[in-house]
Amino acid sequence: MGRDYVVEKVNEFLIDEFELEPEQLIPDALMKDDLDIESLDFVDIAVIIEKEFKLKVTSEQMVKIKKLDDLYNFILEAQKN
């Protein structure tokens, strides 16, 4: 799974689940301030990552994700391991 696939899948669920517009989804977008993603939403994101990418996500890992790019990179790194 390459970066393009991860970006496409992540953006897809952010648009579907959080009613975000595609133009908001730039890598530097801050999850909380720019995308209005609250702590409770991180639980949903963790569930989707687990389902979509078959990865185990912990709350400690989720709390480090500040920007959208961090989320893409986290999935890519976790897949390598």
User: Nearer to another protein by C-beta: 10 or 46?
Assistant: 46
- Mark residues 53-72: x for contact with another protein by CB under 8 A, - for none: -----xxx-xx---------
19: alpha, beta or left? (left if phi > 0; alpha if psi -120 to 50): left
- In angstroms, rounded to a whole number, what is the distance separating the alpha carbons of residues 8 and 72? 10
* DSSP letter (8 states) at residue 20: -
User: Nearer to another protein by C-beta: 4 or 19?
Assistant: 19
- Mark residues 20-59: x for contact with another protein by CB under 8 A, - for none: ------------------xxx-xx--x-----------xx
